[in-house]
Amino acid sequence: MTDLENNLRKFKRRHLIYYMEVFDDESGKLLGHLADINVNGLQLVSREAVELDRDFRLRLMLPEDVSGTAKVVFDAKSVWCRPDVNPDFFATGFSAPELDQNIRRIFMIMINQLGFND
């Protein structure tokens, strides 16, 4: 793990009980499925590698019972990408330190309601 990855892991990530779809909001392309999350970033699992060091406008599709909204849109930067445990997929880490308070609140709800107990 690089120094950058270690610095971005100040907040523990929580694996979720199911994968939610995450799209590139500008192109509409499905980037992958949310694998884990914290209030400063997230990890996606996808069929294709995601371009590194790129700023994205992400659209995360939410379950109805999480926040009363179907989606959140926010900016994040791809900071690492590598083959997943399953070699048919890639795992990509995104940093999103500039989330507004409402989206941070939604992330906290997701962590508390949908995260695995560990």
E strand or H helix at 7: helix 3-8
Q: Kindly report, residue by residue over 9-59, the tens digit of the pLDDT.
A: 444 444 444 568 999 999 999 999 998 888 889 999 999 999 999 999 999
pLDDT band at 108 (very low <50, low <70, confident <90, very high): confident
pTM of the model: 0.80
**What CATH number was assigned to the domain covering residues 3-114?**
2.40.10.220
Instruction: For tokens 């070699």, name the residue.
Output: 87
Q: Is the sign of the CA dihedral 7, 10, 103, 117 positive or negative? A: positive
Report strand pairing: 14-15 vs 55-61.
Answer: unpaired
pLDDT band at 118 (very low <50, low <70, confident <90, very high): very low
pLDDT band at 4 (very low <50, low <70, confident <90, very high): very low
E strand or H helix at 111: helix 101-114
Q: Which of 103, 95, 102 has the alpha carbon at shortest distance from 43? A: 95
